[in-house]
A and B are shown apart, each in its own frame.
Chain A
Amino acid sequence: MSITHNQEGVFTIVSMAGRFDALCAREFKSVISLLLEADKKRIILDMAQVNFIDSSGMGALVGGLRGVAKEGGEIRIAGLIPEVHTIFELTRLHRIFDIYETTAAALAAG
């Protein structure tokens, strides 16, 4: 798993790749808290390259969302592949997150 991020206007795009599991969950949490410290709280998660997410990954996502929301920020999720989207549906997390087909769509959505 690798996590990188870059700024796109008011949004910080966090790009992830590989398996979103316990190992990655730890890295993800630290990336989110670093962004919050830097007052970057409008976040788009580009998950197009994520091929799997497990329960630890889900926990990290919801934990990240809670932290960001508490600071008045938001997390948008973009680019879920069908297999990962299925897991979001199974756990109903697609109702908790704003999900977009692409990063461009997430950026364009005001």
Chain B
Amino acid sequence: MITVLCVDDQKHITDVLSRYLTKWGYLVLVASDGETGWDIIQKNRPEIVLTDWLMPDLEGPDLCRRVRSAGFPGYTYMILLTAKSDKEDLVLGMEAGADDFISKPFEIGELKVRLNAAARMVRLERQLTQANSELDEKNLALNEMYDSVKIDLEAAAQIQLTLLPDRNVSLPGFHFDWLFSPSTFIAGDIFNIFPVDSNHLNFYLIDVSGHGIPAALLSTTLSRVLSPQSHFTINGPLGQTYCDTCENRQDLIVSLNSPAHVALALNKQFMSDGEQMQYFTMLYGSVDLRDGTTTITQAGHPSPVYQAPGGEVRTIGGGGFPIGLIPEADFEDVSFRFEAGGRLYLYSDGITECRGATGTMFGEKALLDVLRAGWNQPLREVIDRLRSELAVHRGSDSFDDDLSLLAIERMEDRI
């Protein structure tokens, strides 16, 4: 029911109004002067106010101004009852905040249709308010949900970072550093470098197809499967790396087998099936610390870049099947000598396929240029330079694929 307040200092007017309005289904309140009307408005919040213009204390337009400046949450529809008909008066009334005018003496039929129009406005405004408040509630719920997902993802991102090799740990005769930039909180990229016995240092970089949570679930699993249980223990009872859950442990004794065997075992265990077609590309390698002989297998992954002492760069390997895509896939080992003072860069295609504003990709050549130019600089500086060149190319600091790069340098003074 809609409440109408009638304000007039002439009792016979409020009596007539009250009688008709009640008959038409409105709840009617009455005030005999402006100040009393204002008190009722504040207390009862009627939707429609029908007020006389000329009253001894507070005139109709003043009452309109008070209502408008009060900033009540719902709308108050103000109708001025007036004998005035000058244009100037009407303008003044509208400026004061009146929505409509009814001329005195009023005609019952006109009063009825004007109140109908007012009631229609009031109902529309109510619906709008209700819809808005429902929308606000839904927004609030969505925001809460987003916040909780975001908190979870940030925690997951922190956990994922702990799977990456610790930059502060030194390896025998080698330096390493890396770039890791998930496109959304967590990445489908993962990499590691770790000694498996006193003569071998293994490393890998994996890029799971797609990105985000589904890719991160697999990359995290792979990190556990491939990394030794205790990182960087050189003289421990090593030589074997186990997967706790794998049925055939022989398959996952990765450390001393050739990289191609590792790829083969993973291809068997992580074969994609069904709708998702989730698979990954991998570069896996092993350095023999005694003479620098390095064996890598390239499973659908971009060729790594080897930088000889002096700065000359070349890519190694000619490709290979991704892992988890083709059941009968085979994998090859490729060997090269990791010279003292040489550097090896493993990276995911998020770097070379990073698209700029015009759609052009960063490309292998640009990557090689940055690496070549960074020859005399520490790995950290080369990586920082690459990161900033990528951001310049992209025109932004956010990327649409995961970016990762693992840089390994064999020191001059050992082996």
A1-9, A35-43, A52-60, A71-79: which lies at the interface: A52-60
The answer to whether A56 and B321 touch across the interface, beta carbons within 8 angstroms, is no
Q: Which residues of A contact B353 (CB under 8 A)?
A: 52, 54
The answer to whether A89 and B325 touch across the interface, beta carbons within 8 angstroms, is no
The SS class assigned to the A binding surface is: helix
Chain B nearest CB, measured from A55 CB (Å)? 4
B329 within 8 Å of A by Cβ? yes
The answer to whether A59 and B325 touch across the interface, beta carbons within 8 angstroms, is yes
B320 within 8 Å of A by Cβ? yes
B165 within 8 Å of A by Cβ? no
A89 to B300, CA, bound (A): 9
Map CB proximity to B onto A72-108 as digits: 1 under 8 Å, 0 otherwise: 0000000000000000011111001000000000000
In the complex, residue of chain A having the shortest beta-carbon distance to the beta carbon of B325:
A62
Chain A nearest CB, measured from B403 CB (Å)? 14
The answer to whether B326 and A62 touch across the interface, beta carbons within 8 angstroms, is yes
The answer to whether A92 and B272 touch across the interface, beta carbons within 8 angstroms, is no
The answer to whether B272 and A59 touch across the interface, beta carbons within 8 angstroms, is yes
B61 within 8 Å of A by Cβ? no
The answer to whether B322 and A91 touch across the interface, beta carbons within 8 angstroms, is yes
Q: Which of B281, B318, B329 contacts A55 (CB 8 A)?
A: B281
A58 to B401, CA, bound (A): 16
The answer to whether A91 and B209 touch across the interface, beta carbons within 8 angstroms, is no
The answer to whether B277 and A92 touch across the interface, beta carbons within 8 angstroms, is no
Chain A: number of interface residues, binned into ranges: 10 to 19
B160 within 8 Å of A by Cβ? no
Q: Which of B279, B302, B319, B322 contacts A89 (CB 8 A)?
A: B319
The answer to whether A58 and B209 touch across the interface, beta carbons within 8 angstroms, is yes
Residue from the set B281, B300, B302 with the largest chain A CB neighbour count within 10 Å: B300
A93 to B277, CA, bound (A): 15
Q: Given contacts A22-B210, A90-B300, is CB(A59)–CB(B278) below 8 Å? A: yes
A55 to B361, CA, bound (A): 16
Residue from the set A29, A56, A89, A91 with the largest chain B CB neighbour count within 10 Å: A91
Q: Which residues of A contact B210 (CB under 8 A)?
A: 22, 55-56
The answer to whether A91 and B300 touch across the interface, beta carbons within 8 angstroms, is yes
List CB contacts (< 8 Å) of A15-68 with chain B.
Answer: 22, 29, 52, 54-56, 58-60, 62-63
The answer to whether A59 and B321 touch across the interface, beta carbons within 8 angstroms, is no
Chain B nearest CB, measured from A14 CB (Å)? 18
The SS class assigned to the B binding surface is: loop
B52 within 8 Å of A by Cβ? no
Q: Given contacts A90-B300, A90-B302, A96-B326, is CB(A59)–CB(B319) below 8 Å? A: no
B207 within 8 Å of A by Cβ? yes
In the complex, residue of chain A having the shortest beta-carbon distance to the beta carbon of B301:
A90
The answer to whether B277 and A91 touch across the interface, beta carbons within 8 angstroms, is no
A48 to B302, CA, bound (A): 23
A82 to B210, CA, bound (A): 24
Q: Which residues of B contact A54 (CB under 8 A)?
A: 349, 353, 401
Q: Which of A22, A29, A55, A92 contacts B319 (CB 8 A)?
A: A92
List CB contacts (< 8 Å) of B268-301 with chain A.
Answer: 272, 275, 277-279, 281, 300
The answer to whether B281 and A91 touch across the interface, beta carbons within 8 angstroms, is yes
Q: Which of A22, A29, A52, A58 contacts B325 (CB 8 A)?
A: A58
The answer to whether B321 and A91 touch across the interface, beta carbons within 8 angstroms, is yes
The answer to whether A90 and B319 touch across the interface, beta carbons within 8 angstroms, is yes
The answer to whether B300 and A59 touch across the interface, beta carbons within 8 angstroms, is no
In the complex, residue of chain B having the shortest beta-carbon distance to the beta carbon of A51:
B359
Q: Which of B207, B275, B278, B329 contacts A92 (CB 8 A)?
A: B329
A59 to B281, CA, bound (A): 11
Q: Which residues of B contact A93 (CB under 8 A)?
A: 321
Q: Which residues of A contact B277 (CB under 8 A)?
A: 59-60, 62-63
Chain B nearest CB, measured from A3 CB (Å)? 17
In the complex, residue of chain B having the shortest beta-carbon distance to the beta carbon of A92:
B321
In the complex, residue of chain B having the shortest beta-carbon distance to the beta carbon of A57:
B209
Q: Which residues of A contact B319 (CB under 8 A)?
A: 89-92
In the assembled complex, 6 residue pairs joining A and B whose CB atoms fall closer than 8 Å, in A order, are A29-B275, A55-B322, A55-B349, A62-B325, A89-B319, A92-B320
The 6 closest A-B CB pairs, nearest first, are A59-B277, A55-B209, A90-B319, A91-B300, A63-B277, A92-B321
* A-B contact sample (20 more), CB < 8 A, given A89-B318, A92-B321, A96-B326: A52-B361, A54-B349, A54-B401, A55-B207, A55-B210, A55-B279, A55-B322, A56-B209, A58-B209, A58-B322, A59-B279, A60-B277, A62-B277, A63-B277, A90-B300, A90-B319, A91-B281, A91-B319, A91-B322, A92-B320
